Amino acid sequence: MIQVPPYTFTHCTTEREKKRGVFCRRRGIFDEMTVYDIIDGKKRGQELREEQIRAFVRAVTDGSASDAQIAAFCMAVLLRGMTDRECFILTDAMAKSGQVTPRPQITGVCADKHSTGGVSDSTTLILVPVLCCLGVRCAKYSGRGLGHTGGTLDKLESFPRLSVELTPEAFERQVEKIGGAIAGQTKDTVPADKRMYAVRDVTATVDSIPLIASSVMSKKLASFADVILLDVKCGDGAFMRSPEEAEKLARLMVSIGSAAGRKTCAAVTRMDSPLGDNIGCNAEVREVIQVLRGKQNDLAELSLYHCGKLASLALGISEEEARRRAEDAVRSGAALKKLAQIVRAQGGDERAVYDETLLPLAAQKETVRAAQSGYLHVSALALGKACCALGGGRQRAEDAIDHTVGILLLRRAGEFVKEGEPLADIYYNRENAEALALVRGAFREEETFEPKPLVYRFIGEEDSNA
């Protein structure tokens, strides 16, 4: 990790300086540094110095930098890029912009998994209880859904009365007592990222690889996980459309984590069609429970793949042995019991783990059928947008979620279907012509189908810079 001497900033007072967002660093190192000059340097393609990056993040955090300046900086980074060194410094500065959770006195190795977002990706709710059964501590900080991608916290709240707002002390106690916890990070965690992301979201700068990497990894470094696995999605339903772009992002994030002293790895995985068979909060939690009871599909396979990789790193055992233990935890029913234990510990109704009627689906149902015979192609993006339009997702952060709406896939991408055959059931409370049209348009029947691998590439610390 790059170490720098402490420094301080004071606001300058002239009107010209105020307009340009000026900071003065103590004499002897820099006489004057402005947010304007930092933006201008990056606009010209310059590699920013460490003190410039840290000054900018401080300005974002304390409000000295305007939204317009943040937008200009983000656009300059998107167009000009950043070196790995710049990305690490930006990540480190963002992680330290708020509360950093120190490593508590929890016995054993703490693991964390992060997905860059997809459709019907409920791997966290499977992975956490399985890893707990293997003796790996899971201190999982998760987020909410936005747009077509679902959020782990929203899905977890499908369990009646469950709370994802745990104090740091309660979070640590739960991890120590039962092996795992899933909660949201506090408002004091990485405030610089929260402000920068809000600006990126409305200025077409979300898809910058350096900014994605620093956003994701700043939150990981602000927590206390010893081992981190990053699931970098690519395809129709992901932010990264190609495996090549996803691999660039994965390598950068692994290098940042490794530079910070965390065991970090990444998997580049497919997100052209939904990962699971169910889309929507209650529907996806139902499928999580089915997988923990032995259901086999891509969701189950990727969850066990991640378990094998993380347990191997955390416990120092072979991936084959780690995978075998993970499968045993599912087969024996231990992982399902552990999920119920986590739900109960966070105030939820554990009966819902064993009784799916406590995870109800919306009252109205419509079935989508194949327009013609052929090999089925399924758009993850269209189905994610459709679920959001039905009320199962958010267009804005303040939107409420309808946990009961959802889409249940009856056939998978690549299967041959006949004209008129049922493809999916849509559950909704209010008819929405746009959403129903999106679901119908998500399916295409064609003469051929070219299968793609579930996992394109695994990247460990040893090859992050290869």
Residue 374 belongs to domain with CATH number: 3.90.1170.30
Three-class DSSP category at 387: helix
Residue 25: the pLDDT is: 39
What's the CA gap between 405 and 390, in Å, rounded? Answer: 7
The answer on 286 and 264 residing in a single domain is: yes
Sheet with strand 33-34: strands edge to edge: 9-11, 22-25, 33-34
- For residue 451, give every residue at least 6 positions away whose Cβ sits within 8 Å of its Cβ, in sequence order, or none: 414
Confidence grade of residue 367 (pLDDT, cut at 50, 70, 90): very high
The pLDDT tens digits of the residues spanning 50-103 come to: 999 999 999 999 999 999 999 999 999 999 999 999 999 999 999 999 877 777
Say whether both 297 and 209 belong to one domain.
Answer: yes
Per-residue pLDDT, averaged over 273-292, amounts to 97
Pairing relationship of beta strands 180-184 and 22-25 according to DSSP bridges: unpaired
Average pLDDT over the chain, rounded to whole?
Answer: 89
Same-domain pairing of 36 and 121: no
**Same structural domain for residues 405 and 425?**
yes
Which of 219, 251, 270, 338 is flagged as catalytic? 219
Point out the domain boundary residue: 81, 100, 118: 81
Residue 141, domain member (yes or no):
yes
- Which tokens sit at 372? 């013609």
Of 208, 215, 273, 464, which is the active-site residue? 215
Question: What's the mean pLDDT in 176-198?
Answer: 90
Please indicate, yes or no, whether residues 263 and 155 belong to a single structural domain of this protein.
Answer: yes
- Tokens 């109205």 correspond to what residue? 364
* CATH value at residue 59: 1.20.970.10
Q: How many CB atoms lie within 10 A of CB 370?
A: 18
> Which residue, 152, 133, 143, 140, is CA-closest to 110?
140
pLDDT at 378 over 70: yes
Average confidence (pLDDT) over 424-438:
92
Beta bridge partners of 11: 23
Please choose, from the candidates 395, 386, 118, 142, the residue with its C-alpha nearest in 3D space to the C-alpha of residue 239: 118
Residue 418 maps to a domain: yes
pLDDT, residue 202, reads: 84
Q: Read off the pLDDT band of 6 (50, 70, 90).
A: very low
Is 295 an active-site residue?
A: no
Exactly one of 42, 113, 114, 403 is catalytic; name it.
114
37 included as an active-site residue: no
Among the candidates 81, 98, 127, a domain finishes at: 81
Over range 396-402, report the average pLDDT: 79
Q: What is the CATH number of the domain that holds 199?
A: 3.40.1030.10
Q: Would you say residue 207 lies in a domain?
A: yes
Q: What pTM, to 2 d.p., does this model score? A: 0.88
Task: With H, G, I as helix, E, B as strand and everything else as coil, classify residue 262.
Answer: coil
For position 189, what pLDDT does the model report? 87
Q: Is residue 2 part of a domain?
A: no
With a cut of 90, say whether residue 19 has pLDDT above it. no
Q: Is the pLDDT score of 293 beyond 70?
A: yes
Rounded Cα–Cα distance for residues 326 and 159 (Å): 24
Q: Is 114 a catalytic residue?
A: yes
- Which pLDDT band holds residue 7 (cuts at 50, 70, 90)? very low
Q: Which residue has the tokens 């747009």?
A: 147
pLDDT tops 80 at residue 108: yes
Task: Specify whether 201 is catalytic.
Answer: no
Q: Which domain holds residue 73?
A: 9-81
Q: Say if 105 falls within a structural domain.
A: no
> Which tens digits make up the pLDDT trace of 130-146?
999 999 999 888 877 76
Q: What percent of the chain is modeled with pLDDT above 70?
A: 90
Q: Which of 20-34, 104-118, 342-356 has the lowest mean pLDDT?
A: 20-34
Select the more confidently predicted residue: 159 or 11: 159
The per-residue pLDDT for 147 is: 66
Q: How confident is the model at residue 188 (pLDDT cuts 50, 70, 90)?
A: confident
Q: Examine the domain organization and report whether 69 and 132 are in the same domain.
A: no
Q: Which residue has the higher pLDDT, 296 or 400?
A: 296
- The pLDDT assigned to 26 comes to 37
Q: What pLDDT score was predicted for residue 33?
A: 64
Q: What is the mean pLDDT of residues 236-258?
A: 94
pLDDT beyond 90 at 282: yes
Q: Which listed residue (92, 154, 193, 425) is catalytic?
A: 193
Residue 399: pLDDT over 80: no
> Is 60 exceeded by the pLDDT of residue 4?
no
- Structure confidence at residue 146 (pLDDT): 64
Question: Are residues 318 and 259 part of one domain?
Answer: yes
27 is catalytic: no
SS3 423: strand
Whether 231 is covered by a domain: the verdict is yes
Indicate the number of domains in the chain.
Answer: 3
Asked if residue 18 has pLDDT above 50, the reply is: no
301 shares its domain with 396: no
Rounded CA-CA distance 68/285 in Å is 40
Same domain, 341 and 366: no
Residue 251, SS3? helix
> 264 by DSSP, 3-state: which?
strand
Give the C-alpha separation, 57 to 217, whole Å.
15
Cβ distance 23 to 10 under 8 Å?
yes
Q: Does 368 lie in the same domain as 298?
A: no
How many CA atoms does the CB half-sphere of 157 hold within 13 Å? 20
Compute the distance between CA of residue 124 and CA of residue 115 in angstroms, rounded to an integer: 9
Pick from 45, 40, 3: nearest CA to 21: 40
| DSSP code at position 390 | I
Angle subtended by helix axes 243-259 and 84-95, to nearest 10: 60
Residue 258 located in a structural domain: yes
Please tell me the predicted confidence (pLDDT) of residue 107: 84
CB atoms within 10 A of CB 404: 21
- Segment among 10-24, 225-239, 421-435 with least mean pLDDT: 10-24
The answer to whether residue 40 is domain-embedded is: yes
Report, as an integer, the average pLDDT of 435-443.
93
- Based on the domain organization, do 171 and 186 belong to the same domain? yes
| pLDDT above 60 (res 466) | no
Alpha-carbon gap, residue 45 to 355, rounded angstroms: 58
Residues 298 and 393 in one domain: no
Catalytic one of 54, 155, 194, 200: 200
